[in-house]
A and B are shown apart, each in its own frame.
Chain A
Amino acid sequence: MLYDVIIIGAGVSGSAIARELSRYEANVCVLEKCEDVCEGTSKANSAIVHAGFDAPAGSLMAKLNVRGNEMMDDLCRDLDIPFKRNGSMVVCIHKEALPGLQDLYDRGIKNGVKDMKILSREEALEMEPNLSDNVEGALYAPTGGIICPFKLCIAMAENANVNGVDFRFNTKVEDIKKGEDGMWHIRTNNGEYVSRYVVNAAGVYSGVIHNMVSEDDDKIEIIPRRGDYCLLDKEVGTHVSHTIFPQPTNLGKGVLVSPTVHGNLIVGPTAIDIDDKEGTNTTAEGINDLIAKANDHVKNLPMRKVITSFAGLRAHEARHEFIIGEVKGAKHFIDCAAIESPGLTSSPAIGEMVGNMLKDMMGLTPKANWISTRKDVMNPENLSIEERNELIKKNPAYGNIICRCESISEGEILDAIHRPLGARSLDGVKRRTRAGMGRCQAGFCSPKTMEIIHRELGLEYEEITKSGGRSNIVIERTKNQKGGEQ
C-alpha cells in the first residue's frame, strides 16, 4: 500500500503527529520497531509538564514547551487521561545563587510563562514544608504539572488509530531511499513501505534515520543521555506536593522530586551520556548519585520506600534544540529529531506544528467525521458501592481484582486488551491499567494477567512476553505437565 505519510516511531512525538494528521484525509502509517507504542524515551522520564522557563528564550524548544503546556488541559480532557497542575518550584539553596532564580524568572517571562513568582525562604517552606533547611528562595510556576506519560502516548496513538491511522509494530526501519518514482521507499524487517512523505520521530534513533537521507554535510548525532530514577511507594507520595527542581545546570534540569499523577513519589534523573541506544540499565553509582542530589533540596526523603528504579534515555543533540523541519536535500522528509526534555510537555505542540506543516505542504483537507475524544480504560475506584455493583452486574469481570496493590480488576484488563491498539504483553497491560505497577511490582498479578492474555488473545503461555521480542516469561512446560500430555 502506498501511504501519504509514514511516521517512524510511536513514541509521544510520533503519536501526537499521527493524531494531528488523523484530522485530515490522508493515508497515514506509523512504523514502530517495538511491539507497542511508548517503548522508548516516552516511557521512562520524569512525567512532568514543564512550565517553560528553562529553554533559551526565542528557541523552538521554548515556544513548543509553552504551547504544549497550554494545550494540555483540553487534550487530557478530550483523551480522558489524568493531568494535574501541581505547580513547580525551583529551589535555591545557596545565597550566592539567588540571582539565578531571577534569571529563570526573566527567561520565563520572555518565553510567555504565566503567573510565576519568586518566593522567599519562608514562603517556600510554607508551601512545601519538606524542603531542605538550606532553602534560600524559590521560583514558583503554578502552570507546571504532572501527567502519565504512558497514558498520554497511548491515548494519542489510540485516537489516531480510531481515526484511520495504521500502526505497524515490530517493524524496524533498516534503510530509506528516494525512488525513481519520487516516493520514499522504506526497507524494514517486515518488507518495504512506500510513502509520499516521511516523518522521522525515532527518538534516540532519529539521528540514524536522519542520516539515511541527509547530505554529507548534514549529519546529526543523537547522544543517548541516560537518567536513572527511583519511584517510591504511594505511602510517601505526599512527601512533597509540588515538583521540586534544583537550579538548572548545563547538563539539564537536575534531580527533581515530585509526586506523580497516580500518587507515587518520583526522584530523578541523573544525566550520563552513553553510547548504547538501548542502554537503559541503572547503575549503583547512578542511584546513589541521585539520592545524594535529591537530598540537597528535599529533607527526610524516605528512600527506603523505593518500589522500583529504572533508567530512561534522552535523545540529546549537541545544540540542545528540537530539530523539526524538512531535511535539506530530502524533499518531503520531515525531521522531528533530538526531542529531549521538555519533549513530553511539547508533544501536543510538536504534533500541531508538524501536522500544520504537512497540511500546508500536502494541501490536506479535514475529515468530515474526525473523532476528537476517546475514553480511557475505566477506573472504577471512584465509583460508589451502588455504582460499582451496577457495573459488576453488567460485567462481572469488574468484580474480580487481579492486581491487589493498585486494585485493578479483570474488567479493566480486558478493556486494555480489546481496545484499539490493545495490550499484548504484561507491560502493555501494565501501562494501560497500572496492573503490576504497585508495590509488589507484579509478583502477585503476573500469573493471573498471563492467564487472561492466554485466554483472550489465544497466545500460548510460552508466547506471552513482558514487552515483546524475546522477553518471554516462561520457556516450556514442567516435566510433569509434558509427561501428562504425551
Chain B
Amino acid sequence: MMNYDIVIVGGGPAGLAAAVAARNAGVDKILILERDKELGGILNQCIHNGFGLHTFKEELTGPEYAYRFIEKVLDAKIEYKLNTMVMDISEDRVVTAMSREDGMYQIKAGAVILAMGCRERPRGALNIPGFRPAGIFSAGTAQRLVNIEGYMPGREVVILGSGDIGLIMARRMTLEGAKVKVVAELMPYSGGLKRNIVQCLDDFGIPLKLSHTVVDIEGKEKVTAVTIAEVDGKGKPIPGTEERYTCDTLLLSCGLIPENELSRNAGVEMSPITSGPIVNESLETNIPGVFACGNVLHVHDLVDYVSEEADRAGQNAAKFVKGQLSDAKSDVEIIATEGARYTVPSTINIDRMDDKLTVRFRVGAVYKDSFVSVYFDDERVMHNKKRIMAPGEMEQVILLKDKLAEKPGLKKITVKIEQE
C-alpha cells in the first residue's frame, strides 16, 4: 500500500487550492486524484468570464482561473494522478483508486480532503411529466457538449430552473445561434446570481417566468414542445395558465447536489439541508483527519469562496498530519434558524479556531431590508442590516476568536434573519 500525508479527492478548484495550502503549510507528500483527463474540474467548461473578482481582483474565465491554481500545483511539484476514479474511502483513511495505467490500488492517507464537487439534479428527480425523448439535458451536460465537445444540442430552447449554469447556458446557446424562448423558475425568486440574470437573460431579451414549471414534454424521439404553467404557493400548477413552446431542447438547471457517495460510504455524517458533510471550524468531518471543502461540502455561487474555503481545509489538514490539531471536541454549536437555512461550519472549538472564522450560510427566501443577527447563547452580538438577501446568494458572518474567548461556557451561537 502506498502512503501519502494528504490525499485529495478531486482536482477541481477546491482540490487544487487545498493542495497548494497544505504544501505552503509544509506538508511534503500530497496526492491529488482527479477523474477527468486534466486538472481544473468543472471550471474547464465554464468558458465565460466573471471568475476571480475577489481572489485576483480581475475578471477571468473558468479555465484561466483554474490555471492560476494549476500553475501553483505544478510549481510546488505536487503529485497528481489524472483519469483516476476513487472507488472507496474507508473510515481509517485508506483510499482505493483505479485507472487504466495503474489498475486498482490503495493508499494510506494521513489526512483526506474531500473535494469531489457536485452534480446536477436530473429530470427524473424532478418528476416532470411527459415523454422521455432525446433533447433533455441538465444545463451542465449541455455546457460540456457545447464548450468542450463543440456540438449544439438544438436550435430552440426552453430552460427550466434559473440556477447559474442555466442562466449562463441561456446566453451561450443564444450566442451560438439558438433561440432561447423562456426560462421558467418554480420558485418566486431566481436561484442564480443577480448579475447573471442581468447579463445572461435581460441583455438578450430572454423572459424569466418566476413561479412557473414544466407540466408536459412532447416528442417521442426528440423533444418537439414543452408546456409550462404558473404554480400556486405550494408549487402546484394552476390549471388554465399553460403556455406551450415548440422547441427541440429542454435544459434543466434545478439545483446542484454535493457528490457524497464516497463520503457516505466512509461513514461521514451528512447534513440533510446541504447534502454535504457536517463539519467543524476546521472543516473536519466527524471522522478525524477527513476534511471537506468546495461544492462537496455545500454548493457555492462563487469559485472565489471555494478557493478560500479549500485553503482553510488544506491548512487544517496540514495541522492534522503534523499533530498540531488538538483532538478536543468542537463543543460550541452554531444553529441556523428563522430564515437562515444552514451554516458551514456547524460547530466550533474555540481553541482550534483561527483568529477570524468565516461562517457561510444561505437564506430560505428573499429578505428585503432585514438584519443578519448573531446570538451568543441568548445575547445578540451582531445585527447587520442587508438591503437584500436571496437564496441564490450565499451570505456570511465573521466570528472573532477574541470575542468568543470572552464568553467562557458558551454553548450555542445562533444565526438568524430579523426584520428589525
Contacts and interface: CB of A to CB of B under 8 A. Distances in A.
B323 interface: no
Given A444-B119, A473-B153, A478-B146, 14 more contacts: A230-B127, A282-B130, A284-B215, A306-B127, A385-B106, A399-B104, A400-B100, A404-B35, A443-B120, A443-B138, A470-B221, A475-B153, A475-B154, A475-B248
B248 to A, nearest CB: 7
B83 interface: yes
Going nearest first, the 8 A-B pairs with the smallest beta carbon separation are: A308-B124, A441-B122, A474-B151, A481-B150, A466-B134, A396-B100, A471-B134, A401-B85
A388 B98 contact: yes
A396 B119 contact: no
B177 interface: yes
Contacts of B138: 443
B244 to A, nearest CB: 14
B125 interface: yes
- Chain A interface bracket (under 10, 10 to 19, 20 to 34, 35 or more): 35 or more
A451 B146 CA distance: 14
Nearest to B138: A443
Nearest to A393: B103
13 contacts: A283-B129, A284-B215, A307-B122, A441-B122, A442-B122, A444-B119, A462-B151, A467-B134, A471-B221, A473-B134, A475-B152, A478-B150, A478-B152
Interface in A275-326: 278, 280-284, 286-287, 306-310
A102 interface: no
B99 A400 contact: yes
Contacts of B130: 281-282
B124 A231 contact: yes
A407 B177 contact: no
Contacts of A397: 100
B103 A388 contact: yes
A115 interface: no
A392 B104 contact: yes
Contacts of A280: 131-132, 220
Contacts of B177: 479
A284 B98 CA distance: 42
Interface string A453-486: 0000000011001110111111111111100000
A155 B122 CA distance: 29
B127 A477 contact: no
B75 interface: no
Given A306-B125, A447-B141, A388 B35 contact: no
Interface of A: 230-231, 278, 280-284, 286-287, 306-310, 385, 388-389, 392-393, 396-397, 399-401, 404-405, 407, 439-444, 446-447, 450-451, 461-462, 465-467, 469-481
Interface centre among B137, B141, B218, by most A CB within 10 Å?
B141
Interface in B155-177: 155, 176-177
Contacts of B288: none
B383 interface: no
Contacts of A447: 141, 144-145, 148-149
A446 B145 CA distance: 10
B122 A440 contact: yes
Interface residues of B, number: 54
A446 B144 CA distance: 10
Contacts of B87: 401, 407
Contacts of A396: 100-101
B237 interface: yes
Contacts of B106: 385
A477 B151 contact: yes
Nearest to A466: B134
A230 B126 CA distance: 11
A308 B154 CA distance: 23
Contacts of A461: 149, 151
A404 B137 CA distance: 18
A443 B255 CA distance: 13
Contacts of A405: 261
Interface of chain A: mostly helix, strand, loop or mixed: mixed
A441 B176 CA distance: 26
Contacts of B105: 385, 389
A472 B237 CA distance: 31
A398 to B, nearest CB: 8
B102 interface: yes
Contacts of B129: 281-284, 286-287, 309
A476 B104 CA distance: 38
Interface in B207-259: 215-218, 220-222, 237, 248
Nearest to A465: B134
Contact of B220 (A278, A392, A478): A278
Contact of A476 (B98, B152, B218): B152
A472 B134 contact: yes
Contacts of A389: 103-105
A284 B176 contact: no
Contacts of A481: 150-151
A387 B137 CA distance: 37
Contacts of A388: 98, 103-104
A28 to B, nearest CB: 29
B248 A308 contact: no
B163 to A, nearest CB: 14
B123 interface: yes
Contacts of A385: 96, 104-106
Contacts of A444: 119, 141
Interface in B87-131: 87, 96, 98-106, 119-120, 122-125, 127, 129-131
B151 A476 contact: yes
A264 B128 CA distance: 20
B84 to A, nearest CB: 9
A450 B217 CA distance: 24
A478 B176 contact: yes
Nearest to B132: A310
Nearest to B150: A481
Nearest to B153: A474
A399 B102 contact: yes
B131 A281 contact: yes
B339 interface: no
A52 to B, nearest CB: 32
A479 B176 contact: yes
Nearest to A234: B261
A396 B98 CA distance: 10
Contacts of A477: 150-152
B270 to A, nearest CB: 11
Contacts of B176: 478-479
B140 interface: yes
B133 interface: yes
Contacts of B99: 399-400
Nearest to A384: B104
A466 B98 CA distance: 29
Contacts of A399: 98-104
A34 to B, nearest CB: 11
Nearest to B140: A443
Given A284-B215, A399-B98, A399-B103, A443 B151 contact: no
B417 to A, nearest CB: 26
Interface in B357-407: none
Interface centre among B96, B104, B145, B215, by most A CB within 10 Å?
B104
A281 B153 CA distance: 22
Nearest to A309: B127
Given A385-B104, A392-B100, A309 B119 contact: no
